[in-house]
Amino acid sequence: MSDENPGGDGGNDGDPEGLTHVDEGDVQMVDVGDKPDTARRAVARGTIHLRAATVDAVRADEVGKGDVLATARVGAVQAVKHTWETVPMCHHIPITNVETTFDVGDGRVDLEVAVETTGKTGCEMEALEGVTTGLNVVWDMVKAVEKDDDGEYPATRIDDVRVVEKTKRPLE
- Footprint on residues 152-171 left by its own copies (CB under 8 A): 152-153, 156-164, 166, 168
**Is 1 labelled a binding residue?**
no
Burial of 138 per CB tally in 10 Å (0-12, 13-18, 19+): buried
**Is 89 labelled a binding residue?**
yes
**Binding letters toward its own copies, positions 82-101, x by CB under 8 A:** x-xxxxxxxxx-xxxxxxxx
CA 123, chain centre distance (Å): 9
Binding-site size, its own copies (CB under 8 A): 102
Residue of 26, 56, 110, 140 marked catalytic = 140
**Is 29 labelled a binding residue?**
no
Which residues from 28-67 bind its own copies, rule CB under 8 A? 28-33, 39, 43, 45-46, 59, 61, 65-67
- Tell me how far apart the alpha carbons of residues 63 and 135 are, in angstroms, rounded to a whole number: 16
DSSP state of 36: P
Cα separations in angstroms, 22 against 96, 132, 133: 40, 36, 36
Q: Contact with its own copies (CB under 8 A): which of 6, 9, 26, 170? A: 26
Q: Contact with its own copies (CB under 8 A): which of 19, 52, 53, 56? A: 19
110 is a site residue for its own copies (CB under 8 A): yes
- Tell me how far apart the alpha carbons of residues 166 and 116 are, in angstroms, rounded to a whole number: 10
Three-class DSSP category at 114? strand
**Is 125 labelled a binding residue?**
yes
Q: Quick check: is 140 catalytic?
A: yes
**Binding letters toward its own copies, positions 118-157, x by CB under 8 A:** xxx-x-xx--xx--xx-xxx-xxx-x------xxxx--xx
Closest CA to 50 of 103, 112, 108, 110: 108
Catalytic residue numbers?
140
